């Protein structure tokens, strides 16, 4: 270490040597001092940094302190470590230290300063307090560890303060600090609470309470009764006093007051130790605040996650609103919580959910712009009101106490451009809501708005579905029941021999319309069944030939169509496909459509095999000689739709063909319409159905 060129880097020295260290630049001025050196010198960084190192030395000695130091510094600047025994002048006495001066170098290896390491000579003059030497330092060392590791700050601060006060020979100590939840807390040792409060609240000459001034950064060292009385008013029985700020970085956490009542005992000489102790308390309070914030944020995130999970699956509006309010209330410790819904027609707000202990009237109604809630809905901007009783926009709701100041958070509930209402939270009385709590509720309101919108839409859909079901029942049950006797009476009347040809034509027309009603009801019923339970019914092998013949007999047994000639041709004896009980409805609809619009001409049915796209199909073709279907209409005939095209339906191709299209899709088949005579729609239509062959146990279609 004494050989030339063995200089150490500054960073290495500062982190690896557990001794007091002072760093000098090339001019000999102090640029850094560590905590141990501050305690040794009895001064803080602001008092030391920038001084020439020689200004710390005691005057005199043989040879002089300055000469010894200058020689050692010169050697260090030449690149070699140097040693010097130096005596320092401090408020704590004149301690002697064996100093090692080590040159520090820059990246190019040039000497850019000196690191001074101090080793104590243990002079008898250096006894910092009564009792054992360096006891306060030992107290600080243990306190540092205890404060950083102990979660119960109140208990550990009280215990360590008592030890420090005893080791320094002081009479009392008072702490006024902010707890992690921002609440003031007073701790004291060697003085009762009443007297401690009087000390803290002693007025400065400008009338400011002492603790307020100290928390703002004005520290006091008052060393005798004359300084105390010249600086403060009404301080009870204090002769020497140190009032120090407890802070970390730029945040003040409170103040500490140390003092004595006995004459001849000075607090000033203990200032560095007391300051280090206060710094340790400040760091610990900062750590505690961070731990508290972390726990609180974790609780918030857990609450938000659980609520989001519930909201994502919850569609019952009343239950969802209660979950939203309860979560918001828990997040910010609110007493009362409300969700107001906006009625855009009347411009009024009514609570649709509330959690409150107040006895409120059943009907509460606010106009948009009325009160804080009405103002938020009108402007679309949330508000944090610390004191509602001081806000001119506030209105008192009947049933709530008007003599207690309350704090209010109100945020709009908005989805896209739609204003749904507002959520209002109230805390009364006591600590007001904080900006952080407002930001949290504002964030939460976005999720709440989406959930409320979704649940409201679900309510509308459910209501619409219930109405649709009601109309479906009325149509398919009641109307069908009314139509049955009408149809029967018309069939009887049609066979009455007393009718002339004109009368018979009128009855037949009425019978056709009655039959149309029956078919419409049947189609609606089938579509409803397909959508409700179609996927629940399994497919199985079904021979289409008997199904088609049965559908043919049903259609042509109708009095309206009994005179229509039918021709059935099949090139196969059986045609097995995968289907279900709805298959007959497919052919019923096609045959009914052909008869209805075939103008009484013969209807042809053909069944055969077909190969297409590398697959084996059954091909069913039904031809009529009706007025035909224009080309532009053919593509949309079988599409499954919910909104009926009036023109489409009036031409006769409505729900029946929609049922055909839905069933072909269910069975994996295809359906389309062509001209019976290619290129001439006026000669009638041909409806072609392809259904896939089912593989039987023999491997045949």
The enclosing H or E element of 647 equals helix 646-650
Residue 651 pLDDT level (bands cut at 50, 70, 90): very low
Residue 673 confidence (pLDDT) above 90? yes
Strand partners, 622: 605, 687
- Which of residues 258 and 225 earns the better pLDDT score? 258
Q: How far apart are the first and last CA of the chain?
A: 99
Helix (H, G, I), strand (E, B) or coil at 370: coil
Q: Is the pLDDT of residue 633 over 70?
A: yes
Q: CA 422, CA 222: separation in Å to the nearest integer?
A: 56
Structural domains in the chain, sorted by start:
10-120 (3.30.450.20), 135-292 (3.30.450.40), 314-461 (3.30.450.40), 501-516+523-692 (3.30.565.10)
Across the chain, mean pLDDT equals: 79
Query: What's the average model confidence in pLDDT over 652-680?
Result: 84
Per cent of the chain over pLDDT 90 is 21
- CA atoms within a 13 Å half-sphere pointing along the CA-CB vector of 671: 24
* Residue-wise pLDDT tens digits, 5-59: 444 445 455 656 778 899 999 999 999 988 778 878 877 788 899 999 999 998 8
Per residue in 186-236, pLDDT (tens digit) is 999 988 889 999 999 999 988 899 999 998 888 898 887 888 888 888 777
Strand partners, 173: 189, 258
Beta bridge partners, 13, equal none
Give CA–CA dist 244/175, Å, rounded: 10
Q: Give the pLDDT mean for 449-468.
A: 71
Is the pLDDT assigned to residue 619 strictly greater than 90?
yes
pLDDT digits (tens, 9 = 90+) for 555-604: 776 666 777 888 899 999 999 999 988 888 889 889 888 888 887 788 99
Instruction: Give residue-wise pLDDT tens across range 78-90.
Output: 989 999 999 888 8
Tens of pLDDT along 375-389?
999 999 999 988 887
Quick check: 27 and 260 in contact, CB under 8 A? no
Residue that wins the pLDDT comparison between 395 and 649: 395
Best CA proximity match to 406, nearest among 425, 419, 421, 383: 425
Per DSSP (E only), the strands in 330-406 are: 336-343, 348-355, 366-367, 383-385
Give the pLDDT confidence of 403-445 residue by residue, as tens digits: 566 889 999 998 888 888 999 999 877 678 888 888 888 887 8
121 vs 102: CA distance, rounded Å: 19
pLDDT digit string (tens) for 342-373? Answer: 888 888 998 888 888 776 666 788 899 888 99
- pLDDT of 394 strictly over 50: yes
DSSP strand pairing (240-248 vs 251-260): antiparallel
The first and second tokens of residue 414, run together, are 């908005």
Choice between 131 and 526, residue whose per-residue pLDDT is larger: 526
- The answer, as to whether pTM is greater than 0.85, is no
pLDDT tops 80 at residue 124: no
């Amino acid at each position: 270490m004494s050989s030339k060129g063995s200089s150490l880097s500054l960073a290495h020295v500062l982190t690896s040597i557990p001794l007091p260290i002072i760093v000098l630049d090339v001019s000999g001025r102090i640029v850094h001092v560590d905590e141990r050196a501050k305690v040794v010198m009895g001064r803080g960084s602001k008092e030391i940094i920038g001084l020439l190192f020689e200004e710390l030395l005691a005057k005199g000695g043989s040879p002089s302190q300055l000469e010894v130091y200058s020689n050692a510094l010169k050697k260090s600047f030449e690149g070699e470590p140097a040693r010097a025994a130096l005596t320092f002048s401090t408020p704590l006495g004149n301690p002697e230290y064996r100093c090692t001066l080590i040159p520090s170098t820059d990246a190019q290896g040039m000497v850019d300063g000196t690191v001074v390491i101090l080793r104590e000579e243990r002079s008898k003059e250096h006894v910092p307090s009564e009792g054992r030497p360096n006891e306060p330092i030992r107290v600080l060392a243990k306190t540092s560890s205890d404060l950083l590791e102990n979660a119960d700050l109140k208990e550990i601060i009280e215990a360590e303060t008592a030890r420090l006060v005893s080791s320094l020979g002081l009479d009392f100590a008072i702490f006024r600090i902010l707890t992690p939840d921002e609440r003031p807390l007073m701790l004291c040792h060697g003085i009762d609470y009443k007297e401690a409060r009087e000390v803290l609240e002693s007025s400065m000459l400008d009338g400011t309470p002492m603790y307020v001034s100290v928390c703002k950064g004005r520290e006091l060292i008052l060393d005798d009764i004359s300084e105390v009385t010249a600086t403060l008013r009404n301080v009870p029985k204090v002769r020497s006093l140190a009032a120090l700020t407890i802070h970390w970085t730029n945040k003040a956490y409170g103040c500490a007051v140390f003092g004595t009542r006995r004459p001849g005992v000075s607090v000033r000489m203990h200032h560095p130790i007391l300051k280090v102790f206060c710094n340790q308390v400040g760091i610990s309070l900062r750590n505690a605040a961070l731990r508290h914030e972390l726990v609180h944020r974790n609780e918030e995130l857990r609450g938000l996650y659980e609520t989001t999970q519930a909201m994502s699956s919850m569609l019952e509006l009343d239950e969802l609103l209660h979950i939203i309010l309860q979560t918001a209330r828990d997040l910010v410790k609110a007493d009362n919580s409300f969700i107001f819904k906006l009625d855009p027609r009347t411009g009024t707000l009514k609570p649709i959910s509330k959690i409150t202990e107040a006895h409120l009237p059943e009907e509460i109604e606010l106009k948009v712009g009325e009160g804080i809630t009405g103002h938020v809905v009108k402007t679309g901007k949330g508000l944090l009101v610390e004191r509602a009783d001081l806000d001119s926009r506030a209105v008192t709701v009947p049933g709530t106490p008007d003599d207690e100041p309350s704090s209010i958070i109100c945020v709009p509930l908005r989805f896209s451009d739609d204003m749904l209402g507002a959520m209002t939270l109230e805390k009364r009385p006591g600590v007001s809501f904080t900006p952080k709590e407002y930001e949290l509720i504002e964030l939460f309101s976005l999720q709440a708005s989406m959930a409320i919108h979704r649940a409201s839409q679900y309510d509308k859909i459910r209501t619409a579905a219930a109405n649709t079901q009601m109309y479906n029942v009325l149509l398919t049950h009641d109307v069908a029941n009314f139509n049955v006797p009408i149809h029967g009476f018309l069939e009887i009347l049609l066979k009455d021999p007393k009718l002339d040809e004109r009368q018979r034509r009128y009855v037949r027309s009425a019978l056709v319309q009655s039959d149309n009603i029956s078919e419409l009801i049947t189609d609606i019923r089938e579509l409803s069944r397909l959508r409700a339970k179609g996927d629940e019914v399994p497919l199985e092998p079904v021979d289409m030939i008997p199904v088609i013949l049965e559908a043919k007999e049903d259609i042509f047994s109708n009095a309206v169509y009994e005179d229509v000639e039918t021709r059935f041709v099949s090139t196969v004896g059986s045609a097995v496909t995968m289907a279900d009980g709805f298959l007959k409805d497919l052919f019923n609809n096609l045959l009914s459509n052909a008869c209805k619009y075939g103008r009484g001409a013969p209807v042809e049915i053909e069944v055969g095999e077909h190969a297409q796209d590398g697959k084996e199909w059954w091909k069913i073709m039904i031809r009529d000689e009706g007025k035909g279907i224009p080309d532009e209409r053919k593509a949309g005939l079988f599409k499954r739709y919910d909104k009926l095209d009036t023109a489409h339906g009036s031409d006769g191709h409505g729900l029946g063909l929609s049922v055909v299209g839905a069933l072909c899709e269910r069975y994996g088949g295809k359906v389309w319409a062509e001209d019976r005579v290619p290129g001439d729609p006026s000669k009638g239509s041909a409806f072609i159905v392809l259904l896939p062959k089912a593989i039987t146990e023999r491997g045949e279609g």
